[in-house]
Amino acid sequence: MGAVLAKNNDTGQVTVRDAPPDMAAATAGIRPGDTILLIDGRDVRPMTPEQVHEQLIGPVGTTVAVTVEREGRIVRLQVRRGPLRKSATSTP
């Protein structure tokens, strides 16, 4: 997906720390500060960082539905997967 994510283990929240402009996440509209709520309809809160990463990767050209909270609003996005460069999931 091409975003740097941080998972708060206390709350389960997954926050976008960075979304480089040349990557699929930014192209789809994901922004730093977004809180990821759902990936393909699945709640990310109980997931480990590795599970979040596994939900986001897939064959190049396929899409993944990502629901985020941004400034108090729910935003639903479709991210077209690109080539995997490196793992972008991290914990604080």
Q: How far apart are CA 78 and CA 66, in angstroms?
A: 6
Q: How far apart are CA 55 and CA 64, in angstroms?
A: 8
- pTM of this structure: 0.84
CATH architecture classification, 4-83:
Roll (2.30)
User: Strands 89-90, 4-7: parallel, antiparallel or unpaired by DSSP?
Assistant: parallel
Kindly tell me the sign of the dihedral angle through the C-alpha atoms of 17, 77, 73, 37.
negative
Q: What is the pLDDT along the chain (92 residues), one digit of tens a residue?
A: 788 999 998 999 999 999 999 889 999 999 999 999 999 999 999 999 889 999 999 999 999 999 999 999 999 999 999 876 654 444 44
